[in-house]
Chain A
Amino acid sequence: MAELDLWSMLFVFMLATFVGFQVIQNVSRLLHTPLMSLTNAISAIAIVGAIVVTGEEESTATTILGAVAVAASMTNIVSGFLITDRMLKMFRERERKP
């Protein structure tokens, strides 16, 4: 395990956390429920790890564990993005009276 990799990973973590704080502080409070469902769908990117574990077929046990993880992540991706969009469609401005 190259030491360099650990440090570059820590750098990515640190920078992404700051970006996250900056970006999310700008999210309108109106949209905090959609925010939560959207970030939830995004963090289901864990599916990429699950896909590799499932596909490399090391043993039956790890393949099953991986497949369940793929299913759980996919559930979050699909339901997370769909419900976020469904909620966002409902937010509308007051119609300006002529």
Chain B
Amino acid sequence: MIHGLTQLTYLAAAALFILSLRWLSHPKTARRGVAAGVGGMALAIIGTLFAPEIVNFSWIAIAAVVGIVIGVPLSWVPLTAVPQRTALSHAFGGLAAGLVGTAKYMIWFQHGELTPFRTGAIVLEIILGYLTFTGSLMAAGKLQEIVPTRPITYPNQNVVNLGLLAIAIGAGVYLTIDPYLPWAFAIVILLSLVFGVLLILPIGGADMPTVISLLNSYAGLSAVAMGFVLENKLLITAGALDGSSGLILSIIMCRAMNRSFTNVLFGAFGQVQAVAAAGEAKTAKSATPQDVGELLTNADRVVIVPGYGMAVAQAQHKVRELYDQLSKRGVDVKFAIHPVAGRMPGHMNVLLAEAEIPYDALVEMDDINSDLAQTDVALVVGANDVVNPAARHDKTSPIFGMPIIDVDKAKSVIAIKRSMNPGFAGIDNELYYLDHTLMAFGDAKQVLGDVVKAIAGESGGH
């Protein structure tokens, strides 16, 4: 009877989770999606608390309170820190899966109830769980810049990494055949933890959107494996939703960079660029905020291309002021969003939404590119590789073949940049040396503030 009731809450929760993601398809219904998710979660938790196996509620209550105390402040982070928070939450998800897998192994070990099937599922759960845990912690550390953000490489890195993973899987297979080997279980845990760290070491910041998506997928799959261990179909369903979401996002990110999964994970992006640094001395034209203001106000159509630099400088609110000033003067302003701009999927959209820029002014890369030839001014704010024309024609460039926003086709280009140093991936950008490109040097927030002042001051003088 009780069991049936619990299953009923699980069934309802699974339906609510699917509805939740369905409603997320459009900004208008999206918040309803959150409500459905919360409802499903609450139902499932209440249903579980009635499970007859539970004899003591005090530890559950204490742990839940601890989770709430950590979770609430984590939801207040500034939106520029959302990638770190997301990586951290993947780490927690992986940790939970790993710990429950470990506990189940210990319980079944004691009762002599380990079967090859159960052990196999547990091995899968702990490998995915623990490697997601340490891998995501590393990713969060890199995003927070506690850990060096440049790719860290050493000789035979891929051989070492894959060798470790192979040993872990080998020990896991051995364990599945003969489950009562605690030392082999310990080896699987240890190697998974180490592998997670090593997997993320060679990843550079530009690859973070893909890697975060992949870790998302792993976290989901570890929940699926946990569902197989506990024979819980709700866990399998929710984990599969999370896993497929992460996978879709990873595919989108990889396509947006014209790279494969293997290339992202084992390619150590940012290592081959020493060549580019030796280029001949080229000159770029620089512009004052007044020049920029004048160009923008005289334009009919302006496209703004935001990048990670905008997030670093927290310049989204100044971008909004500029948007307001230009819109007021009848200039048509759109934003071109590259899928991998920023450090996670959709990063730029959230920052611009925070600055109260209406979402219908944000245009996908594929939709804006045909408009750029008719655009008077393309304003690049802290974006670099995603607007580098070398991706279209320079076969020697590491980013050759990556789809880019064709800002060089606009009548004129203004790029706001801290200095002439190459961007994160360390690749020189020929866009800055084009005849119709002007560089505005300085912190994006500062420069945009001066531009807005210049525009406002000019109109005040009439």
Contact = CB atoms under 8 A, between A and B. Distances in A.
B349 A29 contact: yes
B63 A56 contact: no
Given A48-B48, A51-B45, A67-B60, A39 B245 contact: yes
B54 A51 contact: yes
Contact of B37 (A1, A55, A81): A81
B135 interface: no
Given A23-B21, A38-B37, A33 B107 contact: no
Contact of B51 (A38, A55, A91): A55
Contacts, number: 374
Nearest to A95: B358
Nearest to B229: A49
A70 B44 contact: no
A64 to B, nearest CB: 8
A58 B241 CA distance: 31
B142 interface: no
Which secondary structure dominates chain B's binding surface? helix
Contacts of A93: 27, 358-360
B25 A28 contact: yes
Given A55-B53, A91-B30, A78 B68 contact: yes
B236 A16 contact: yes
Contact of B226 (A30, A49, A67): A49
Interface of B: 10, 13-14, 17-18, 20-22, 24-27, 30-31, 33-34, 37-38, 40-41, 44-45, 47-49, 51, 53-57, 59-60, 62-64, 66-68, 70-72, 74-75, 77, 79, 82, 85-86, 89-90, 92-93, 95-97, 99-100, 102-104, 106-107, 110, 115, 117-118, 212-213, 216, 219-220, 223-224, 226-246, 248-249, 252, 337, 339, 344-347, 349-350, 353-354, 356, 358-362, 364
Given A78-B71, A83-B85, 8 more contacts: A17-B243, A29-B339, A35-B245, A49-B229, A55-B55, A62-B107, A75-B68, A92-B359
25 contacts: A1-B117, A6-B117, A9-B231, A13-B228, A24-B21, A29-B337, A30-B27, A30-B353, A37-B82, A39-B216, A39-B242, A43-B220, A46-B239, A47-B45, A48-B44, A55-B59, A57-B55, A62-B103, A65-B102, A69-B99, A70-B96, A76-B89, A76-B92, A87-B354, A94-B358
